[in-house]
Amino acid sequence: MIAPRHIFAIIAHIQSKLNIAAVDGKALAPQRWEQVRALIRDRGVIRLEDLCRRLNVSAATVRRDLDELERKGAIRRVHGGAVSVEGRLEEPMFEDKTSLAAREKRRIAEAALKFVAGGDTIFLDGGSTVLELARLLRERTNITVVTNSLRAAQELAGQGPRLIVIGGELRRLSQTMVGPLTRLVLQDLHLDKAFMGTIGFALREGLTTTDPSEAFTKEAVMGQSRQVIVLADSSKAGKVSFARAGHWEQVQVLITDQRIHFAKELTRKGVRVLLTQKE
C-alpha cells in the first residue's frame, strides 16, 4: 500500500511534467514559425503539403502557422500554400508555380482574354499565369499564337489557333526556349500583342527574372510587340530578382489581382493597371 503522502507527491510530479510539456509546446511555436518563414523565403513559394512533410506536423498546425505569419506581414497566403513577401525572389519549380494562387491566375487570364481580338498574332510567354491564358485559347481558331513555352504549346497542340513554336535552348526550370537562336527568330517577327509573365516586378527595377537568357528573350519579345500585357498576381509586387526582363516604358497593361502600392506611379508612366479582385 502506497502512503497517501507518496500518492500526492507522484500526482504533483506528473502535473509538473505536464505543465513543463505545455510550456515547451508553446515555446516551439515561435521556433517553428521561423522555420516556416525561412523555407518560404528561400523557395519563394511553397505548398501546404511540403511544409507538413518538412516540419512533420499536421495540416491544421501549418495553417495556423501561416495565418500567424501572414498577420505579422512575413508571408502571403494563397490557395494551397504561401508565397514570400521578403527580399529577393528566387524562381520556384514550374509545378510549384502552377499549383499556387490558381484562382487568382485564372481570373487574371480571363481578364487578359478580353484583349485578344480576331486576326491577332499574339505571343505567349512561359509564365504559369500565361499558361492559364493558353488554356482559354483552345477554342479560338481565328488567331495566331507564337510561343517559346513548351507548356503553352502542349496546351494548344491538339486544337485551337494556328500555332508557331520558336526553337532554341531549353531552359528546364521554366520549360521555355531561350538563347541566340530564339532571339534570331524573334527579331524578324511582328506581333500584335505579347502576354508576359514575370518572377517579380517593382517600380524602379521593372520586370525581373532569375536567368539572363530568359530576360534577354523577354526583352526581345517586347521589342517586337505593338502592345505588351503583363500578367502577374500581386504577391510578385515589390519583388526583385537577378536579371531585368523589361522596363515599364515597354509595358502598356498590367493585369493583377489586388491593388499594389505603386499603381499610381505606374499610371503616370503610361501603364494601365487592371485589377481582377475589387476592393
pLDDT per residue as tens digits for the range 201-236: 999 999 999 888 999 999 999 999 999 999 999 888
Evaluate if residue 191 carries a pLDDT over 90.
yes
Look at residue 25 in the predicted model and tell me its pLDDT. 38
Look at residue 22 in the predicted model and tell me its pLDDT. 35
Specify the higher pLDDT residue, 29 or 154.
154
Provide the pLDDT confidence category of residue 93 given band limits of 50, 70 and 90: low
Evaluate if residue 277 carries a pLDDT over 80.
no
Specify the higher pLDDT residue, 101 or 47.
47
Which CATH code of 3.30.9.10, 3.30.830.10, 3.20.20.70, 3.40.50.1360 fits the domain covering 94-275? Answer: 3.40.50.1360
Q: What average pLDDT does this structure show over 70-85?
A: 75
Provide the pLDDT confidence category of residue 21 given band limits of 50, 70 and 90: very low
Q: Which of 54-68, 126-140, 259-273 shows the lowest mean pLDDT across its residues?
A: 54-68
CATH architecture of the domain covering 4-84: Orthogonal Bundle (1.10)
Half-sphere exposure of 34 (CA within 13 A, CB side): 4
Cα–Cα distance for residue pair 138/209, rounded to 1 Å: 28
pLDDT digits (tens, 9 = 90+) for 172-187: 888 999 999 999 999 9
Look at residue 16 in the predicted model and tell me its pLDDT. 47
Q: What is the percent of the chain with per-residue pLDDT over 90, rounded to a whole number?
A: 55
Cell numbers at residue 242, please? Answer: 537577378
Spatial contact of 111 and 133, defined as CB atoms under 8 Å apart: no
User: Is the pTM of the predicted complex or chain greater than 0.75?
Assistant: no
Provide the pLDDT confidence category of residue 20 given band limits of 50, 70 and 90: very low
pLDDT averaged over every residue in the chain: 85
Specify the higher pLDDT residue, 149 or 72.
149
Cell numbers at residue 177, please? Answer: 526556349
Provide the pLDDT confidence category of residue 80 given band limits of 50, 70 and 90: confident
Cα–Cα distance for residue pair 250/228, rounded to 1 Å: 7
Residue-range domain boundaries for the chain: 4-84, 94-275
Cα–Cα distance for residue pair 172/262, rounded to 1 Å: 33
Cα–Cα distance for residue pair 111/92, rounded to 1 Å: 25
Cα–Cα distance for residue pair 124/145, rounded to 1 Å: 7
